[in-house]
Amino acid sequence: MNFWLKLIGSAKKPITAPPHNGNFNEEYVGFRKARMPAIRKGDHLFLYAPGGSRSIFALAEAMDDPEHDNDYNPNVEGSCRWKLRVCYRINLPVASGILIDEVSSRHRNLAHSVRQQSHIKLSPEEYKLADSKLRERETRK
């Protein structure tokens, strides 16, 4: 099992207050790149909202391997080539998440690393820190 940080939305189009009581409850997360993502069934994804909140707000598990999205349209902004079905383990309102800076390790600044990619693999140190902080935030809500 691997652990990933996955961007949801963008700095230009941030997700701030999705429907469903402020929680992001999409059954699938999308990937725009031509190549299939390396994420596989059973991997865990920390969902990150760049832009306004800059927060990690959910922990999800990949329920399948990525699949081609039949609704992909290269002429539509935000359309994704790949989709991945997820199940939420922790799902906070975006504004209640943890700041990405709280999870950066001594070896890497996650906010800088994730700017170039839609998802990045987390080190064990980063995963453990994100997991403990997100669980702590969940118990306080």
The stretches in the chain having pLDDT less than 50 are: 19
Write the pLDDT tens digit of every residue in 37-66: 999 999 999 999 887 778 899 999 999 999
- Give me 88's structure tokens: 């939420």
d(CA 24, CA 58): 8
pLDDT at residue number 44: 97
* Ordered structural domains, the chain, with CATH: 3-140 (3.10.590.10)
pLDDT at residue number 141: 61
d(CA 91, CA 134): 9
121 Cβ partners below 8 Å, 6+ apart? Answer: 2, 3, 4, 38
d(CA 29, CA 123): 22
Residue 47, beta-bridge partner list: 6, 58
pLDDT at residue number 56: 92
